[in-house]
Amino acid sequence: MVSRETVRRIVAAADLGPDDVVVEVGSGLGTLTRALAATAGRVVALEVDAGLLPVLGYTVGALANVRIVLADVRRTSLSGLAREEGATRFKVVANLPYYLTSAFLRQLLTREPGFTLAVLTVQREVAERLLAVPGSKAYGLLTVAVSYFAEVRRIAEVGREKFWPRPEVDSTVVRLVRRSQPPVEVGDEEFFFGLVRAGFGRRRKILLNALEAGLGLPKERVRAVLSEQGFSETCRAEELSLEDYAALSRAFIRYRKGG
């Protein structure tokens, strides 16, 4: 990141104070790391590329509140890094390789209980999926899953010219604030996410057929649940909101229990 204005907006969105521990994923040259260290209590700078360590050490190594860690985020507990700094709650700032974004979001939302807020620089198309509304082309499994765990807001659009090396795509900075509790009651989280995956797993099919195949349930039972919840047999996965999927989850669970 070589845009001072974008760095400023990222730091502002992270809302850091002297009591905050922030884990920065993908520290690179340390430009953003220095800005985070100016306001946060402690910064854990996580970088996977050993070749960047000399310059990262040069730019931030002298800062007393920065710890540089050479590690792959996919094999690292961010909560564990925060605990090493004496914190059970922490914030995240990340500029990830785009192919890692979906896996990182799953890790952050389901396996990092201490994270409270994240400011992420993601590929613009991924941001559109995170911010999509039902019925739109970008709306899908990622939208529903992330909105179950967190509130998402767009912070800034970042053109490719604001990075070095220059990537092939444009980016968007988004902020995720972890919900204290999910906004909907789903009955059983494992079944709920299985239901959502089944619906979006066959986007070209109507929801009736997608759920029949994905859940392994008789078509008549799926038809009865959809009808009970007021959904047309021909509706598609992308037409349903988070609240709709929660209602379907509860209804299927009742049917499964014979209620």
> What is the DSSP code string of the chain?
---HHHHHHHHHHHT--TT-EEEEE--TTSHHHHHHHTTSSEEEEEE--GGGHHHHHHHHTT-TTEEEEE--GGG--HHHHHHHTT-SSEEEEEE--GGGHHHHHHHHHHH-TTEEEEEEEEEHHHHHHHT--TTSTT-SHHHHHHHHHEEEEEEEEE-GGGSSS--SS-EEEEEEEE-SS-SS--S-HHHHHHHHHHHHTTTTS-HHHHHHHHHT--HHHHHHHHHHTT--TT--GGG--HHHHHHHHHHHHHHHTT-
Q: Which residue has the tokens 């499994």?
A: 141
Query: 167 pLDDT band (50/70/90 cuts)?
Result: confident
* 142, 203 contact by CB (below 8 A): no
Per the CB < 8 A criterion, the answer to whether 168 and 222 are in contact is no
- The Cβ of residue 90 has, within 10 Å, a number of other Cβ atoms equal to 24
pLDDT of residue 164: 77
Q: Quick one: angle between helices 207-215 and 189-200, nearest 10? A: 130
pLDDT at residue 39 greater than cutoff 60: yes
Residue range 82-98, pLDDT digits in tens: 999 999 999 999 988 78
pLDDT at 259: 53
Report the candidate in 251, 246, 226 with the shortest Cα–Cα distance to residue 236. Answer: 226
pLDDT for 168 beyond 90: no
> What does the pLDDT read at residue 3?
86
**pLDDT tens digits for range 44-83:** 999 999 999 999 999 999 999 999 999 999 999 999 999 9
Residue 229 has pLDDT above 80, yes or no: yes
Task: Count other C-beta atoms under 10 Å from residue 151's C-beta.
Answer: 13
pLDDT of residue 2: 77
The answer to whether residue 205 scores a pLDDT higher than 90 is no
pLDDT band at 222 (very low <50, low <70, confident <90, very high): very high
Residues recorded for the chain: 259
Q: Mean pLDDT, the chain, as a whole number?
A: 94
Q: What is the dihedral of CA 34, 37, 42, 48, to 10 degrees?
A: -20
What is the predicted pLDDT for the residue at 257? Answer: 73
In the block, tokens 């360590």 appear at 53
* CA pair distance 87, 179, nearest whole angstrom: 19
Q: Average pLDDT of 33-39? A: 98
Identify which of 29, 64, 62, 59 has the alpha carbon closest to the alpha carbon of residue 47: 29
